Amino acid sequence: MAEQQVATGGRKLRHGSRLIGVSVIAGVVAAGIALPAVAAVGLGARSVADGFQDLPDDFRTPPLSQATTILDAQGGTIATVYDRDRTVVPADQISPLVKTALVDIEDNRFYEHGAIDLKGVLRALDENASSGTTAQGASTLTQQYVKNVFVEEAGDDPQKVAEAQRQTVGRKVQELKYAIKVEETLSKDQILTNYLNITFFGEQSYGVEAAARRYFGVHAKDLTLPQAALLAGLVQSPTGYDPTVNPTAAKDRRDTVLRKMAEYGHITQDQAREAIESPLGLNVQTPQQGCILAKQGEGFFCDYVRNVVLTDPAFGKSAADRKAVWKRGGLQIHTTLDPKAQASLYASVTGHVNAGDQAATAMSIVQPGTGRILAMGQSRPYGVDDKQHQTQINYNVGKAMGGGIGFPTGSTFKPIVAAAALENGIPAGQSYTTDYSMPWPAMTDCSGGRFPSSGQVHNDSQSLTGQFSMKAAMAQSVNTYFAKLEADTGLCNVAQMTNKLGITEQAGGEKLQVVPSMTLGSNDLTPLEMAGVYAAFAAHGTYCAPTAITSVTGPDGKSLAVPQANCSAAMSPTTADTVTAMLKGVVEDGTGQPAGLTDRDSAGKTGTTDGSRQVWFVGYTPEMAGATVVSDSDNPKPLDGQRIGGSVVGQAFGGTLAGPIWRDALDGALAGTPAGTFPQVQLP
């Protein structure tokens, strides 16, 4: 008897709980949105109702995270990158079959009820209370859409995602109110389209377009009936019904969807039977994204573009704003990269230096007069696999942009000293008589700090003695001549010219060292910076900051602001053209002869650092300026005696090791381009 009373009491308790639940939900759903004063529910219901009324009703759909496409100057795809693989598509680009399938399996009364399906809620409560489980759900597609918005806003934060998915009364009430707001502002078709674009389908695919491509290799508009049914079935449990992992469960779920479609009369029984008998027909596409998949060595340029978006104020005032732009994605980024120039540069750097060599080479090409980066690459592949000699450090740029600490530039810095001298009234005919070795002249920096005459500066060869003009000293790279020229020009004037040419600090972020050894290239700089400097000589004195992006289109199709080259006159045209005449002599009669182009005007300067740890060639034609460095990339050691590109280097020089890399890259990059000419300047 006691047991019977307990059982009866239990049934009454469950029945009472069911009444309470029905009363609460029914009260909320009622048009007045205020819970009735149901005695059985009491203050709990009133509390829920008050909370409902207090919720803000300014529900807004966040911009969906989508894939970003990075394009070269001709519109070719360099890479697709994303935080979430999603491509938002309009309603007419989604197969009607998948829309019907989703409604039939998830919310078959979707077009009949409002934001909340009261009949479904009551049925679910009754079923769950009777069974003592929560097997029956009652969320409409609109409510599910709202929940997906909460999850999308949570991003990749596990705690926030868990909070967005919590099955609490408060969360449900919030979903209810926002679902009502959504139904007031959007049509049913718009809600369904938004749902299909936001929801997760498993296998890293967000939205129906990404899912269609991932599982079947087709667009969402081309989904067949069995394919549409499979995707519609996935939304309930993307992991449990993943056809690549659980094909049997996935097929069972697909077939359930097909039977529902037939039950509701949206397909015939014969169509359902034929589809059920068909295999899954998967054509799984591996996710293709990230700079690591870029061809022709474009990975480093791709990563540079990413860093531009994350660091340049054009894309947001704060670092957080810029990060949000990148993570949200959906951008079409048109870049300056020239495919022909990039292919030629890549072939040259990888042809002259092997990926597994202890030394590495890096090179950048910039367009004079615009600052556009036409090509960028290095002999080490972009990636994270040490066994494949890969690296993600971009040797072309500084630390702030995904690079390293740069390299001493050696004598490639001397043209900057020459430009400063000419700008400050020292004539191109200035001559000095000098020995192989001499004490450093006394100098003063911009803050008045004095460098006394101490220490020795010497030339690379003991034969470099006697009287030299500026042209001859440039061609033979006479260190002692440029020490005297720097002293007469003024160390501060040299530093100011360096700043005008875009160099204000070292590649690692350290302060630029304004010291006598500047003229010998003692500061650590990068190929991209040096290419920009020499591009100013080619552009008759106009310096343009190197730029990688020409235009950006946002997810809404509107153009975004992009960084500008901010071109300015760093020196007079006369000064720039005079330097060009000197550097033309370097490749014709001086240390840069191995780098000279035979079918067009070219100019440049070699550089070799102490102990031959780095060698450079920086040069230009009227159309392109490029900088090449070869260096032991890890704790640099002398290049002399190293095996580089399959051959042992006896003695490393900028002209003989870096010069041919520059020559071959420029030769291919300019193939078919009419040859321009430099201004004719007579030098003393």
Which of 46-60, 280-294, 513-527 is predicted most confidently? 513-527
Concatenated DSSP letters of 475-534: HHT-HHHHHHHHHHH-HHHHHHHHHHTT--B-TTSPBP--SGGGGGT-SEE-HHHHHHHH
Q: What digits encode the pLDDT tens for the residues 221-250? A: 999 999 999 999 999 999 999 999 999 999
Q: Lowest mean pLDDT of 93-97, 136-140, 670-674, name the range.
A: 136-140
pLDDT of residue 126: 55
Q: What digits encode the pLDDT tens for the residues 549-569? A: 999 999 889 999 999 999 999
Q: Which amino acid, residue 509?
A: G
- The answer to whether 494 and 420 have CB atoms below 8 angstroms apart is yes
| Side-by-side strand order, sheet with 549-553 | 77-81, 68-71, 332-335, 549-553, 559-560
DSSP 220: G
* CA nearest to 621, candidates 669, 565, 549, 681: 669
367 φψ region: left (φ > 0), alpha (ψ -120 to 50), beta (else): beta
R_g of the chain computed on alpha carbons: 35
pLDDT of residue 154: 78
Please tell me the distance from the alpha carbon of residue 632 to that of residue 642, in angstroms, as a whole number.
9
Q: Which residues contact 454 (CB under 8 A, 6 or more apart)?
A: 439, 440
CA dihedral 422, 428, 433, 439 (to 10 degrees): 20
Looking at the predicted structure, is the pLDDT value of residue 639 above 70? yes
Strands 450-451 and 456-458: unpaired
Higher per-residue pLDDT: 24 or 674: 674
CA dihedral 484, 489, 495, 496 (to 10 degrees): -170
Long-range contacts of 456-462 (CB under 8 A, 24+ apart): 457/483, 457/516, 457/520, 460/608, 461/436, 462/436
Give the chain's end-to-end CA distance (angstroms, integer). 123
Please tell me the distance from the alpha carbon of residue 272 to that of residue 260, in angstroms, as a whole number.
9
Looking at the predicted structure, is the pLDDT value of residue 536 above 50? yes
Looking at the predicted structure, is the pLDDT value of residue 43 above 60? no
Phi, psi values for residue 676, rounded to 5°: -85, 175
Q: Which residues pair with 433 in a beta bridge?
A: 467
The stretch 120-144 carries a mean pLDDT of 61
Please tell me the distance from the alpha carbon of residue 244 to that of residue 621, in angstroms, as a whole number.
55
Three-state secondary-structure class, residue 605: strand
Long-range contacts of 181-185 (CB under 8 A, 24+ apart): 181/57, 181/59, 182/59, 182/115, 182/142, 182/145, 182/146, 183/114, 183/115, 183/142
For the whole model, what pTM was predicted?
0.82
pLDDT of residue 286: 84
* CA nearest to 374, candidates 334, 332, 342, 333: 342
CATH of 408-519, one of 3.20.20.60, 3.40.50.10540, 3.40.710.10, 3.20.20.140: 3.40.710.10
Q: What digits encode the pLDDT tens for the residues 412-462? A: 999 999 999 999 999 999 999 999 999 999 999 999 889 987 899 999 889
Higher per-residue pLDDT: 157 or 660: 660
pLDDT of residue 1: 42
Three-state secondary-structure class, residue 255: helix
Q: Which amino acid, residue 96?
A: P
Q: What does the domain layout of the chain look like in residue ranges?
A: 2-54, 63-82+289-406+526-676, 83-277, 408-519
Please tell me the distance from the alpha carbon of residue 188 to that of residue 186, in angstroms, as a whole number.
7
pLDDT of residue 392: 94
Looking at the predicted structure, is the pLDDT value of residue 17 above 50? no
The fraction of the chain above a pLDDT of 90, given in percent, is 74
Please tell me the distance from the alpha carbon of residue 265 to that of residue 487, in angstroms, as a whole number.
92
Please tell me the distance from the alpha carbon of residue 576 to that of residue 590, in angstroms, as a whole number.
19
pLDDT of residue 40: 32
Looking at the predicted structure, is the pLDDT value of residue 19 above 50? no
Q: What digits encode the pLDDT tens for the residues 188-202? A: 999 999 999 999 999
Q: Which residues contact 211 (CB under 8 A, 6 or more apart)?
A: 201, 202, 203, 205, 220, 231, 234
Please tell me the distance from the alpha carbon of residue 639 to that of residue 647, in angstroms, as a whole number.
12
Looking at the predicted structure, is the pLDDT value of residue 541 above 90? yes
What the block records as the tokens of 544 is 């343009």
CATH class of this structure's domain 63-82+289-406+526-676: alpha beta
Concatenated DSSP letters of 43-110: HHHHHHHHHHHHS-----PPPPP--EEEE-TTS-EEEEE-SSB-----GGGS-HHHHHHHHHHH-TTT
Q: What digits encode the pLDDT tens for the residues 586-607? A: 999 999 999 999 999 999 999 9
Looking at the predicted structure, is the pLDDT value of residue 169 above 80? no
Element (H, E) at 27: helix 2-29
Q: What digits encode the pLDDT tens for the residues 324-364? A: 999 899 999 999 999 999 999 999 999 999 999 999 999 99
The fraction of the chain above a pLDDT of 70, given in percent, is 87
Please tell me the distance from the alpha carbon of residue 528 to that of residue 625, in angstroms, as a whole number.
10
Looking at the predicted structure, is the pLDDT value of residue 49 above 90? no
Give the pLDDT band of residue 173 (cuts 50, 70, 90): confident
Concatenated DSSP letters of 367-433: -TTT-BEEEEEESSPBSS-GGGT-B--EEEEEGGGTEES-EE-GGGGHHHHHHHHHHTT--TT--EE
Q: Is residue 391 classed exposed, middle or buried when 0-12, 13-18 and 19+ CB atoms within 10 A define those classes? A: buried
83-277 has the same fold as 63-82+289-406+526-676: no
Q: What is the mean pLDDT of the chain?
A: 88
Residue 184 CB-half CA count within 13 A: 10
- The answer to whether 649 and 641 have CB atoms below 8 angstroms apart is yes
Q: Which residues pair with 552 in a beta bridge?
A: 333, 560
Concatenated DSSP letters of 144-209: HHHHHHHHHHHTT-HHHHHHHT---HHHHHHHHHHHHHHHHHS-HHHHHHHHHHHSB-STTBBSHH
Please tell me the distance from the alpha carbon of residue 182 to that of residue 465, in angstroms, as a whole number.
84
CATH of 83-277, one of 1.10.3810.10, 3.30.310.50, 1.10.1040.10, 1.10.150.120: 1.10.3810.10
* CA nearest to 298, candidates 247, 333, 260, 261: 333
| Helix %, strand %, coil % of the chain (to 5) | 45, 15, 40
